[in-house]
Structures are given as structure tokens and as C-alpha cells.
């Protein structure tokens, strides 16, 4: 609890002092009498001032929420004495906004236990601690202000809001576990693949009776098995382009959150590699626990400035399992990421790059030279994308005003027509 | 309240109405500006000008002790308290009758108490006591003690 003088205290002290001094100078005791009330208020106010004894409890109605949604903070106060004009400020982190009255002033009687509900908007993804409460109250004469900061912080995780995706990017090869992917191979499953003549050992239930009747010999159905896939989200955290509250990292995290949710829903195993100044990874796994594990890791994603050279050798081998689809989300601004992705392709990984375009975040300058530099930079980015395409890596430019599904569809189209070449 | 104080001072003084009126008008104008701008400094200056008007009246008037001074002092404090109350941020709780009445009672009782103390000062000033070293010493001790008490209560930690 801190105590500070209000402007009124200074004014009353000045009035009392000036009055008493003038009384001495002019030799008129009436002026001392005029100054006396202010001195009396000062003496009474300073001697009777007691710091308020206020207790507070804070709860959030949920610990996890999606970006753009609301959370309600329940604040309960209890005063051990009457507190007139109590000012409350819930000090909120940058990613959380108050939709209610904050700060607010209240009058508390000694037996009051008011409950305040403060709606909060989760405006930006991240992991936050919400609940630093600042109390401020003046004494009954308005001469002193008491301030108290209560640490009532509660964790709040705001997950990124991603796009709804209808079709996901399929890996070239699936894994051996059951899932919802349909591989090219044939085996036990329910997805029809082809017809073939009956051979000893085929089960009777596989006989296609209509084809058998038409051809006069037994024919059986062939099916595709249902398999799952391994998908590794490769998040570039070396550099970002930012304009105001929005940046390429925000878009990449939102896209990653959306992709992870959809792949997990389809029973695929998902891993994460945050490749940047600070390396962060999660080995592939499936299930709801893995979903929250990846989302929590995404909340920690941040740009950490580093000049140290890094390549994919720093990654533990298990983070990039064989036959996994590596889906890179990167603004392709840092040479280390550009080289690492090319290296992944050279090592035979099934790679697709969604370039979170930094172009909308960079405005061309006003002069002709600035304009020329901007155009050259955009051309260099085109050349970079072309070099990836020559390597057989589908790369698509994704801007924030376009749905992620459109970018994925572009990658799917490339992969449909591209041939896999193995040396 | 400030206007009433100005008018009362002008009406009570016979010879220097214009000067007192100018000082009083300046005081009222500064207080109004302080209320409009919600600026504490202007309120302090306005109240000081009101006090200056009283000081001018006393300096230019007769030498006799003004017996109405305690009432003026109480009114001056009341004007100051109401002015500072006016620039406080509004809260809905102030609209509750109980809270508002309690606040009004606090302000008025403070002003009444201050008027009584002021009256004691005026009575003490009017008392005929012989001067001398003892009285001077008493005054010095009283002034020092008053300063000491103020300093003590000001630095006392909560």
C-alpha cells in the first residue's frame, strides 16, 4: 500500500501557510483566523487518515478461449471499513481488452461484498496472466490517496482462430496406423479401388457378384486401406513482417492452429517444429492431448532475434519421421529458413511451403528509388519461389485477405501434376 | 458560495468597493475556470484570491478586530470543500441518498468545527494580555509544536 498527497493537500497547505504568513506581515490576527480552518482540516485529515482494508478475489470463467471470443472475470470485493470512492483498475495485458467499465469507481460500506462481472475480449492469441488489480482510494478529506496493487493473476490461454478447412493437404505416403487417409496401395479397407479375378485365399465376402455373373468367373473387389499420416508443421520464427497489430507470425500461428486441429480430427499424427532463434519442437503424436500440446507450443512462438547460423541438423531426428509431410509456414525472409527448407527437400522429405506473404506488410517508399527497390524486392521473392518450384517443392503465396483453403488447394494442384522423382 | 463571500465583503466595506469587487470578481472567475477545467491549481488560486480580498478589506478598513471573521473563515472553507468536491470524478454511488447525505454532513460538520476553532483564534487575539518574553516564548513554542505535529502526521506511514 502506497500513500501519496493529492493536489488538494498541497493547496490547503499553501492556503494555510500563506494566511498565517500574511497575518504576521500585516499584523492582523483575523487573517490567521481565516487560515485556521484549512490548517484544522490538514491536521484532522492527516491524523485520521487510515489506509483502506479491502480484500479481493478474482476468477475467470474459463482458462482457455479462442481468439475473438469473450471471457468473464468475476471480481469479488470485501471491505473491513467503509470505503468511499474506491477506484478499481484491472490491469490487462495487451492481448486482452475490457468490454465493461474499467477503471470504475465504487462506494463500499463496511459489510459490502459486491461481485463485479467484467467481460473481457480475447483480442490476440497468447498465454497471459490476467488479474493484476489496482485499488485507489482517497481519505475522507480528500488529502491523501492510497494505492494498492493486488496480485490476483489467473492464467488465460488464448488460442489462435484459424480458418475452417474443407480439404487438407495429403501426404504422398501414409503410415501404418489406422486413420482417415486413403493411400494408393491396396489392402483391407472399405474404400473401393478396383476389381480383379478371384484367387485362392480371397474371402467370399469380397466377391463382387454382379461382375462375377457378367464374366462367368469369380471376381473380387479390391479396396484401399484407411491409414493415418504424419504431418509436421514447420513454423519459421526467425523473422517476421509486421504492420501495427498484425504480422506474418500471427497469420502463420493462426494457420498452424487451424491445420493442427483439422489433421488431429482426421486421426493423423501431428508434430511441430518452431525453427528460429529459439528452437522448439514436438514429436508427432495424435489425439486431443497432442492438439492442446501443439496449441500451447504455438502460444510460445515468438520472434527471437539471433544471428547464429542454424540448419536442420540441430533438429532431433525423431521430430521429422520418415514419409512425413512437412508443411512449412514461413514468410521466407530469413536465409537460414530458406536453406533449411531446401535441405529438407534434398533429403527427400515430402515438403510443401505456404509462404505467408510479407508483401502486404511492407509499403513502398515515396521516392522513385524506393519504388524501384520495392519492385526489385518483390521480383527477388518471385525468383525465390521459382527456385523452390524447380526443386519440386510446391510453394504458394498466402496473403492475409485470402482463405487458407485457397493456398492449400494451389499446393494440391501442383502436387497432382508434379511427379515424384527419386534418385 | 464564493459570490456570496465577495458580495458580503463589498457590502461590509464602505470605501474601496471597486478594488474589492475587482479582486472578488477575479477570484470567482478563476474558481469557475477551475471548475470547468477540473483543475485543482485554479481552485487553490481562486480561494487564495478570496482570502486576499478579505485581507485587503481588513488592511484598508478600521483597526478594530473583525468579529465576523470566524463566519467568513467557515464560509471560505465551505466554498473550498464544495469546489474540490465538484471536480471529483462522478460515480453512481454518490447518487445514493445515504452516501450523499453522509458526505454533506461531513463537509458541514468540518466547516462548523473549523469555524469554532477560528472563533477561538479571534477570541484569543482579542484578549488583553500583557506582552513580554514569556508570551513571545509561548508563541515560538506553539508555532514550533504546530509545525512538528504537522510534520509528524505527514510522514507517518500507514
**Pairs across A and B, CB distance < 8 A:** 132
CB-hemisphere CA count at 13 Å for A49? 28
> What confidence tens digit (pLDDT) does each residue in A142-151 have?
888 888 889 9
Label residues A360-391 b or e (16+ Cβ within 10 Å = b). ebeeeeeeeeeeeeeeeeeeebeeebeebeee
Say whether both A253 and A399 belong to one domain.
Answer: yes
Structural domain harbouring A79: 54-159
- Subunit contact B47:A11, Cβ cutoff 8 A: yes
How many independent structural domains does chain A possess?
3
Instruction: With H, G, I as helix, E, B as strand and everything else as coil, classify residue A190.
Output: coil
Q: Where are the domains of chain B?
A: 2-127
Whether B158 has a pLDDT exceeding 50, the answer reads no
Average pLDDT for residues B97-104, to the nearest whole number? 78
Whether the CB of B150 is below 8 Å from some CB of chain A: the reply is yes
Looking at residue B64, its pLDDT comes to 75
Q: Would residue A172 count as lying in a domain?
A: no
Whether B91 has a pLDDT exceeding 80, the answer reads no
From B122's Cα to the closest Cα of chain A, the distance in A is 6
Say whether both A314 and A390 belong to one domain.
Answer: yes
Say whether both A253 and A191 belong to one domain.
Answer: no
Model pTM score: 0.70
In chain B, % helix, strand, coil (3-state, to 5) comes to 80, 0, 20
From A78's Cα to the closest Cα of chain B, the distance in A is 16
From B35's Cα to the closest Cα of chain A, the distance in A is 14
Contacts of B123 in chain A (CB under 8 A): none
Q: Would residue A138 count as lying in a domain?
A: yes
- Subunit contact A18:B66, Cβ cutoff 8 A: no
Say whether both A206 and A91 belong to one domain.
Answer: no
B157 confidence band (pLDDT: 50, 70, 90): very low
- Subunit contact A11:B41, Cβ cutoff 8 A: yes
CATH of residue A118's domain is 2.60.40.10
From A9's Cα to the closest Cα of chain B, the distance in A is 10
> What confidence tens digit (pLDDT) does each residue in A28-66 have?
888 888 888 898 888 888 888 888 888 899 999 999 999
Which residues of chain A fall short of a pLDDT of 50?
Answer: 423
**Spatial separation of the C-alpha atoms in residues B77 and A189, rounded to whole Å:** 93
Partner-chain residue, chosen from B51, B93, B158, that has the shortest CB–CB distance to A34:
B51
Is the preceding peptide bond at A168 cis, omega within 30 degrees of 0? no
Q: Would residue A378 count as lying in a domain?
A: yes
Say whether both A196 and A139 belong to one domain.
Answer: no
Single residue among A122, A143, A159 that ends a domain in this structure:
A159
Say whether both A286 and A307 belong to one domain.
Answer: yes
Between the alpha carbon of residue A39 and those of residues A5, A23, B43, B120, B127, the distances in Å are: 15, 14, 17, 14, 22
CA-nearest residue of chain B to A145?
A: B158
C-alpha cell at A74: 468475476
Whether B60 has a pLDDT exceeding 90, the answer reads no
Looking at residue A423, its pLDDT comes to 47
- Subunit contact A107:B65, Cβ cutoff 8 A: no
**Spatial separation of the C-alpha atoms in residues A213 and A59, rounded to whole Å:** 71
From B79's Cα to the closest Cα of chain A, the distance in A is 12
The 10 Å Cβ neighbour count of residue A197 is 12
Looking at residue A237, its pLDDT comes to 92
- Subunit contact B150:A43, Cβ cutoff 8 A: yes
Whether B156 has a pLDDT exceeding 60, the answer reads no
Q: Would residue A361 count as lying in a domain?
A: yes
Residue pair A181/A172 in contact (Cβ under 8 Å)? The answer is no
A342: left (phi over 0), alpha (psi -120 to 50) or beta: alpha
Q: Three-class SS string for B32-60?
A: HHHHHHCCHHHHHHHHHHHHHHHHHHHHH
Looking at residue B129, its pLDDT comes to 62
Long-range Cβ contact pairs of B117-121 (< 8 A, separation 24 or more): B117/A36, B117/A37, B117/A40, B118/A33, B118/A34, B118/A36, B118/A37, B118/B69, B118/B70, B118/B73, B118/B74, B119/A33, B119/B70, B121/A29, B121/A32, B121/A33, B121/A36, B121/B70
CATH of residue A270's domain is 3.40.50
> What confidence tens digit (pLDDT) does each residue in B23-36 have?
889 999 999 999 99
Looking at residue B68, its pLDDT comes to 83
CA-nearest residue of chain A to B47?
A: A15
- Subunit contact B58:A28, Cβ cutoff 8 A: yes
- Subunit contact B154:A15, Cβ cutoff 8 A: no
In this prediction, the answer to ipTM > 0.85 reads no
B96 confidence band (pLDDT: 50, 70, 90): low
Q: Would residue A17 count as lying in a domain?
A: no
Amino acid at each position: 500500500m502506497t500513500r501519496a498527497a493529492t493536489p488538494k493537500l498541497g493547496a490547503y497547505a499553501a492556503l494555510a501557510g500563506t494566511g498565517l504568513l500574511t497575518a504576521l506581515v500585516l499584523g492582523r490576527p483575523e487573517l490567521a483566523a481565516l487560515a485556521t480552518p484549512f490548517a484544522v482540516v490538514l491536521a484532522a485529515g492527516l491524523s485520521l487518515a487510515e489506509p483502506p482494508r479491502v480484500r479481493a478475489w478474482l476468477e475467470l470463467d474459463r482458462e482457455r478461449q479462442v481468439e475473438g471470443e469473450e471471457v468473464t472475470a468475476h471480481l469479488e470485493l470485501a471491505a473491513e471499513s467503509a470505503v468511499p470512492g474506491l477506484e478499481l483498475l484491472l490491469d490487462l495485458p495487451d492481448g486482452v481488452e475490457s468490454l465493461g467499465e474499467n477503471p470504475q469507481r465504487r462506494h463500499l460500506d463496511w459489510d459490502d461484498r459486491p461481485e463485479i462481472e467484467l467481460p473481457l475480449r480475447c483480442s490476440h492469441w497468447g498465454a497471459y496472466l490476467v488479474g493484476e488489480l489496482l485499488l485507489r482510494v482517497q481519505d475522507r478529506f480528500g488529502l491523501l490517496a492510497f494505492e494498492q496493487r493486488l496480485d490476483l493473476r489467473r492464467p488465460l490461454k488464448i488460442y489462435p482462430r484459424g480458418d475452417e478447412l474443407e480439404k487438407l493437404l495429403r501426404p504422398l505416403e501414409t503410415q501404418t496406423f489406422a486413420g482417415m487417409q486413403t493411400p494408393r496401395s491396396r489392402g483391407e479397407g472399405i474404400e473401393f479401388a478396383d476389381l480383379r479375378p478371384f484367387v485362392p485365399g480371397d474371402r467370399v465376402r469380397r466377391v463382387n457378384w454382379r461382375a462375377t455373373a457378367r464374366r462367368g468367373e469369380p471376381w473380387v473387389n479390391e479396396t484401399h486401406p484407411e491409414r493415418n499420416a504424419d504431418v509436421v508443421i514447420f513454423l519459421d520464427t526467425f523473422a517476421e513482417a509486421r504492420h501495427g497489430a498484425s504480422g506474418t507470425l500471427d497469420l502463420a500461428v493462426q494457420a498452424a492452429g487451424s491445420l493442427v486441429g483439422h489433421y488431429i480430427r482426421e486421426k493423423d499424427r501431428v508434430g511441430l517444429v518452431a525453427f528460429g532463434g529459439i528452437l522448439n519442437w514436438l514429436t508427432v503424436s495424435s489425439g486431443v492431448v497432442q492438439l492442446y500440446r501443439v496449441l500451447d507450443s504455438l502460444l510460445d512462438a515468438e520472434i527471437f532475434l539471433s544471428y547464429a547460423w542454424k540448419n536442420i541438423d540441430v533438429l532431433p531426428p525423431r521430430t521429422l519421421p520418415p514419409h512425413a509431410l512437412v508443411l512449412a509456414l514461413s514468410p521466407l525472409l530469413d536465409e537460414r529458413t530458406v536453406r533449411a527448407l531446401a535441405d529438407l527437400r534434398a533429403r527427400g522429405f515430402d515438403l510443401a511451403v505456404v509462404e505467408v506473404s510479407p508483401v502486404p506488410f511492407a509499403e513502398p517508399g515515396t521516392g522513385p528509388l524506393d519504388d524501384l527497390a520495392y519492385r526489385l524486392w518483390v521480383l527477388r521473392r518471385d525468383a525465390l519461389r521459382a527456385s523452390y518450384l524447380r526443386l519440386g517443392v510446391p510453394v504458394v503465396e498466402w496473403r492475409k485477405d485470402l482463405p487458407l483453403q485457397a493456398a492449400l488447394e494451389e499446393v494440391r494442384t501442383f502436387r497432382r501434376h508434379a511427379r515424384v522423382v527419386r534418385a | 458560495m464564493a459570490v456570496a463571500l465577495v458580495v458580503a465583503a463589498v457590502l461590509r466595506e464602505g470605501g474601496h468597493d471597486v478594488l474589492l469587487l475587482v479582486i472578488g470578481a477575479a477570484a470567482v472567475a478563476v474558481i469557475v475556470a477551475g471548475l470547468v477545467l477540473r483543475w485543482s491549481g485554479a481552485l487553490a488560486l481562486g480561494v487564495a484570491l478570496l482570502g486576499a480580498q478579505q485581507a485587503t478589506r481588513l488592511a484598508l478598513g478600521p483597526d478594530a478586530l473583525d468579529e465576523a471573521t470566524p463566519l467568513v473563515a467557515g464560509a471560505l472553507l465551505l466554498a473550498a470543500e464544495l469546489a474540490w468536491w465538484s471536480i471529483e470524478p462522478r460515480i453512481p454511488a454518490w447518487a445514493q441518498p445515504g452516501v450523499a447525505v453522509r458526505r454533506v454532513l461531513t463537509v458541514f460538520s468540518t466547516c462548523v468545527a473549523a469555524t469554532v476553532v477560528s472563533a477561538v483564534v479571534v477570541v484569543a487575539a482579542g484578549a488583553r494580555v500583557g506582552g513580554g518574553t514569556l508570551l513571545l516564548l509561548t508563541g515560538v513554542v506553539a508555532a514550533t509544536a504546530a509545525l512538528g505535529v504537522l510534520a509528524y502526521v505527514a510522514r507517518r506511514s500507514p
